[in-house]
Amino acid sequence: MVLVVLALVATLGAVAAGVLTRDDEEEPAAPAAQKPFTTAPLADYDAAAAVVTRGPFCATVDERQVDAVLGQVPDVLEWRNGDEVDLTGAGADVVHEFGCAWSVQDVGAARAWVFAPPVDAARAQRLVTSAGKGPGCVVGSGPAFGSPTLALTCTKDGTTRASYRGLFGDAWLVCEVERPADAGVDVDVVDLAGRWCVGVLQATAPEAKG
């Protein structure tokens, strides 16, 4: 009888030790919660640090940036230096830039392009002056986007286009958002364009820090 009791005590002790050992083991760490994607206002981004590449960049644009503008990610229209494309609706022409556009009917478009040839400060200033004189366009006072820089909002044919244009080193970069002019007061097209331009900078100047 004594042997049975001793065996039972030993068994219970082993079980208790096992329970204590398991309790002492660290629980596996829960996976870190993934932060939801958010866009950044241009005013909060260090655009001055951007070194823009005069080359193809469309493949590096974060599709979540496109989705933030259009609510979806449609197929991209991409063009490269020397391509013959119709970008204005006035007929195909040879372009000397790298660019891309995403568009959704009745929703709008997100576009960006960088000139292939180098641009100096004098030509950049002429580009600023010329774009600011476009029909239905108003020059804004948005945050700097290169130097010289231009914040522009144009309303024509039932659409509003808000864009930022600027010189980064010798690279002339343009990014714009187009939305229906009657999109509603809840759509700040200028702010949307600024956030889109941050995404474009992150694609064309990936070493820049936000």
Beta bridge partners of 151: 164
Stated pTM of the model: 0.81
Compute the Cα dihedral for 73, 177, 191, 175 and give only its sign.
positive
Ranges 14-18, 99-103, 124-128: which has the least confidence: 14-18
Helix 189-204 to helix 63-70 angle (10° resolution) is 170
Give me the residue spans of the domains in the chain: 42-204
* CATH architecture entry for 42-204: 3-Layer(aba) Sandwich (3.40)
Ranges 10-24, 56-70, 159-173: which has the least confidence: 10-24
Res. 183 pLDDT band, cuts 50 70 90: confident
Res. 93 pLDDT band, cuts 50 70 90: confident
Cα gap 108→176, rounded to integer Å:
11
- Phi-psi map region of 158: left, alpha, beta (phi>0 left; psi -120 to 50 alpha): left
**Cis peptide upstream of residue 148 (ω within 30 degrees of 0):** yes
Closest-CA residue to 153 (of 136, 166, 170): 136
Instruction: Compute the average pLDDT of residues 180-198.
Output: 88
Closest-CA residue to 138 (of 125, 155, 124): 155
pLDDT surpasses 50 at 119 = yes
Neighbours of 81 (CB within 10 A): 17
Res. 16 pLDDT band, cuts 50 70 90: very low
Cα gap 66→76, rounded to integer Å:
10
pLDDT surpasses 60 at 3 = no
